[in-house]
Amino acid sequence: MKKKTIFFKDLGVKEYKVTWIYQKKLHNTIINNKNNNNIIGYLLFVEYYNHIYTIGQNCKRYKHLLVSEYFLDQINAYLYKIDRGGDITYHGPGQLVVYPILDMNYFFLDIHKYIRYLEEVVIYFLYKYYKINGIRIKGKTGVWIINNKQLRKICSIGIKIKRWTTMHGLSLNVNPNLKYFDYIIPCGISDCKMTSMKKENISFKEVKYLLKQSFENIFNIECI
């Protein structure tokens, strides 16, 4: 089967609001040109230099935020209510955040299958290149690992689909400061503990290259 071609953009280190606006611009471009557009999609990689908490549409503003907005100001963190599914999560230095903006008419029209594909990208990436056993947990979205007999989450997923075009995506904990997750109930899961790839002592350049390859393999695409 011939591989589909999508555009890959490594945005480098950015401020959250800038990339949110950019996502919406690309998302709207695909939606507004569906009848005469052969752009299948984009794959965006980004790192954030500041500390950000985003709240999805499934979460009331303060329900799973464990500190005050004054406290967030004191630690130079920002809070955004955004248009994705899911609950509250953290983004910051040491994470690789991935935004696939895809016209799903070229793939399949199944939201749950799409989420499972995103999970599979990360599971494939972790094991193939780093021999880390990522797993799924029934009834919960994301990728988890068992660390010292404890279940910990290494990748969070939150998406939006409008007219079968995706935006938002996943965040992979490469080597973030995990204390910032202590200020929230991640993804609204009360017993959710977070972990990262930190012990692997790897570079972001390598992670980006290999994760892009994993997307290409799982989605049968070519990134240009």
Q: Which pLDDT tens digits describe the chain residue by residue (224 residues)?
A: 778 999 999 999 999 999 999 999 999 999 998 877 678 999 999 999 999 998 887 666 567 888 888 998 999 999 888 888 778 889 999 999 999 999 999 999 999 999 999 999 999 999 999 999 999 999 999 999 997 888 999 999 999 999 999 999 999 999 999 999 888 776 555 666 878 998 556 789 999 999 999 999 999 999 99
Instruction: Decide: helix, strand or coil at residue 10.
Output: strand
Whether 192 and 121 have beta carbons less than 8 Å apart is answered as: no
Set 59, 155, 187, 192: catalytic member: 187
Residue 59 falls in the annotated catalytic set: no
Q: Is 169 annotated as a binding residue?
A: yes
b/e map 122-142, b = 16+ CB within 10 Å:
bbbbbeebbebebeeeeeebb
User: Any residues with CB less than 8 A from the CB of 123 and at least 6 apart, and which?
Assistant: 134, 135, 136, 143
CATH at 131: 3.30.930.10
Whether 186 and 208 have beta carbons less than 8 Å apart is answered as: no
Q: Is 79 annotated as a binding residue?
A: no
Q: Is 224 annotated as a binding residue?
A: no
Q: Is 170 annotated as a binding residue?
A: yes
How many structural domains are present in the chain?
A: 1
Biggest CA pair distance of the chain = 54
Residues spanned by the domain of 15: 4-223
Token look-up 């997307």 returns 215
Instruction: Decide: helix, strand or coil at residue 141.
Output: strand
